[in-house]
Structure 1
């Protein structure tokens, strides 16, 4: 079981494994030794799939990249930047794909933080081909497909989970970094690509973000808070977000310079994660500045962890945004016409 736990933890998607033993067994001694580390590599995508993706890209006029959490691997980030620099193809990120490629890049169009109607969604609508890289359906897709609409290339470790709003025409399954590298190498003439419309949308988005960053109203405007924290944190500084309406503003307006510098959960999005994830980030990177941003509701759920942070001498900053309520639920219920009660 221990060996299996390590294997699962290191496979795609890497992550924590919970192994629980009865107390009497957990107390037993053993002379068993760990087995040597496996030399297995992730399988590579088939040539047929690579060729199909390249053909789609060669025939496109204004393709767009969507970068998700699965692309957050060192080699994948490297080859993605090489592809973007080589071809000039614009890219957007999902919330959990932030920082895979430096978001100060001139081809970064924005983050899919809002559900619909934002500049990013206009850019996706203007594209004639979507290359979806490492996107996990546990995050809702930043675009919704319709039959006969924009075609999608799915590049991921696993095949697509097809449903009513996501059914890619080409699937490239295997090691993402290798697949992106192969596609980049096979692309020849892309001079017919035209990103005039996409880059015009980018400029509008950049102007709107800059405008909110200087807003002096009180109580503090969320966009101003995001801009202020970005100004004071170095590129390697870490922002750990709890779950609330401010998470959308950070995902949308806070430009991540490096991978894993914006920690957020866009899956089950459980409240209370902000302070503990900041503490974990400090344990891994004790020399980097770490800021946790929480709402009053989210902070309340794990405020007792302050005792742990103080006892361990952790130098982290916690910003609490107080609106005396559950802001995201209030916003959602107001949009649905419900009365404000119990929030």
Structure 2
């Protein structure tokens, strides 16, 4: 058969549902092969949007998301999504075109070394040099992308190779069982936990797996040990639980850091070094158990005393089977911290000032969203407020990026979430800066008849950098801009626009948007002026009293 047909059949054999992207001249053979395929092509308005959608598909499903671009400028537009998926541990395959490699009459026009370009930001990158190699190349790419730690892979399919004919057979996926931790390390972990006075469980990005979530739930229910989360560990356990002590959204000084400082043992599950350190170890201080798929990367602030290496869910299950739940741990202080954290959080959630405070905005979004509703975030200072104040009850119901922390991913992520879970409510919250970086994907969302809600937090500036600029003593310069009329903007694409003019309107408008299928956009003026007082002074002063 034609090599491009074999490529599509190999993708079908891997269970690919969607390919997100923008084809070019060099992809036309592959495009024709897709035309009669079970795979649905999702045509986007920018390759970056396609990459973010593919990465989010991988994040939500655990299966490899696939995106497509042409050569040269199309391929370079996938660099940011590649880094997004690689740092965020999201399984994603990028397929890019290329000029003919056997005979070419166009010289170097649009030709760059895409394989070498992708090498530092992927787990695997290769050029297909023969149609016969397609089955093994595709199988290897999917294997590497999805194995722990997941990430980005890349295949370049040149135009003349796609047009070849081949009789190579497909390769079936092999059965894989991850290694499990040895008994001695499990026993050592159990002994350390039972000997501790005030243990605490820390849940990181690597624990965000379905079976791991189940095992951790059983562990907390059996032992009563409280838990905290990193930003990308949110929702692994229900954060409305009274044993939830908070999220490490701030680097230090928050209520959750009082829990960390009081703990004599941190059970660190799924720690990922791409996230900002959730705590800082000191020589002679608290002990740390590292439970992960891989060994710990040791640095000056992280040097665990015990490493339990293997399948995380199995490790937690083994520990839970052996541990004595009747240990006399001293956990009363943690309850006091939890109550103080909730009291402070609630104090500002009903503030009526307008433009709206981020605390009020987060509370109203949480109130309007069902338990399984999905909120995706772009990147900005509001991410701290969502991480800290938005209790996620289920895995992957608050999608934020604490790895690459790129702007422009919020809207494409919401679109992918709605494709994966069409029955769920999906909202994306974007700063006006990040939204405009991929705002053209509104047309894609309308064309696909997706029911999503876009909340734009408008402050007419790159607000997070402006906040940092002020904190560091610099003059206000270079970060203010103008915006379009966002209501008219979304309406021009065929969506529906809403303009909020008082703090009390957001919740009711959001509920209307969630009830009416359409692409909705809410223009919400936001006030970040109290961030410094609240985050850097008030919270630190209050938590220091505990």
Choose from 365, 372, 390 the match for 1:254: 390
Q: What is the distance in 2 between the residues matched to 1:244 and 1:162?
A: 29
Q: What is the distance in 1 between the residues matched to 2:248 and 2:473?
A: 25
1:87 aligns with 2:220: no
Aligned 8 A contact 2:208 2:233 in 1: yes
Deviation at 1:29, TM superposition (A): 3.8
Structure with greater contact order relative to length (CA < 8 Å, sep ≥ 6): 1
Matched residues, number: 343
- Indicate how the Cα distance of structure 1 residues 141 and 190 shifts in structure 2: closer, same or farther if over 3 A, else same: farther
In the TM superposition, 1:318-329 aligns within 5 A as 318-329=454-465
> SS in structure 2 opposite 1:116?
coil
Counterpart of 2:356 in structure 1 is: 220
Q: Which has the larger radius of gyration?
A: 2
1:262-312, Cα deviation, whole Å (9 max, x unpaired): 111100101001101001101111111110100011011111111111111
1:184 aligns with 2:320: yes
1:195 aligns with 2:298: no
Choose from 208, 223, 234 the match for 2:370: 234
> SS in structure 1 opposite 2:154?
coil
1:71 aligns with 2:207: yes
Aligned 8 A contact 1:230 1:254 in 2: yes
Choose from 416, 421, 424 the match for 1:280: 416
Give RMSD over aligned pairs: 1.2
Q: What is the distance in 2 between the residues matched to 1:90 and 1:117?
A: 19
Aligned 8 A contact 2:139 2:173 in 1: no
Counterpart of 2:483 in structure 1 is: none
1:54 aligns with 2:190: yes
Choose from 104, 119, 134 the match for 2:240: 104
1:172-219, Cα deviation, whole Å (9 max, x unpaired): 000000101111111125431011111110111111122222111111
Q: Which range moved further: 306-315 or 220-229?
A: 306-315
1:209 aligns with 2:345: yes
Choose from 285, 290, 300 the match for 2:426: 290
- Indicate how the Cα distance of structure 1 residues 29 and 180 shifts in structure 2: closer, same or farther if over 3 A, else same: same
1:34 aligns with 2:204: no
Unmatched runs of 5 consecutive residues or more in structure 2 = 1-136, 480-546
Deviation at 1:228, TM superposition (A): 0.4
Counterpart of 2:303 in structure 1 is: 167
Deviation at 1:16, TM superposition (A): 4.3
Aligned 8 A contact 1:153 1:172 in 2: yes
Deviation at 1:15, TM superposition (A): 4.3
Aligned 8 A contact 1:103 1:256 in 2: yes
Choose from 128, 138, 142 the match for 2:278: 142
Counterpart of 1:126 in structure 2 is: 262
Q: What is the distance in 1 between the residues matched to 2:184 and 2:241?
A: 32
Counterpart of 1:339 in structure 2 is: 475
> SS in structure 2 opposite 1:130?
strand
Q: What is the distance in 1 between the residues matched to 2:165 and 2:208?
A: 39
Aligned 8 A contact 2:432 2:456 in 1: yes
Aligned 8 A contact 1:54 1:186 in 2: yes
Aligned 8 A contact 2:381 2:463 in 1: yes
Q: What is the distance in 2 between the residues matched to 1:40 and 1:308?
A: 37
Deviation at 1:94, TM superposition (A): 0.5
Choose from 402, 406, 416 the match for 1:266: 402
Counterpart of 1:114 in structure 2 is: 250
Counterpart of 1:315 in structure 2 is: 451
Deviation at 1:248, TM superposition (A): 0.7
When normalised by structure 2's length, the TM-score is 0.62
Aligned 8 A contact 1:45 1:173 in 2: yes
Choose from 143, 147, 151 the match for 1:7: 143
Q: Which range moved further: 30-39 or 52-61?
A: 30-39
Aligned 8 A contact 1:58 1:190 in 2: no
Q: What is the distance in 2 between the residues matched to 1:123 and 1:240?
A: 28
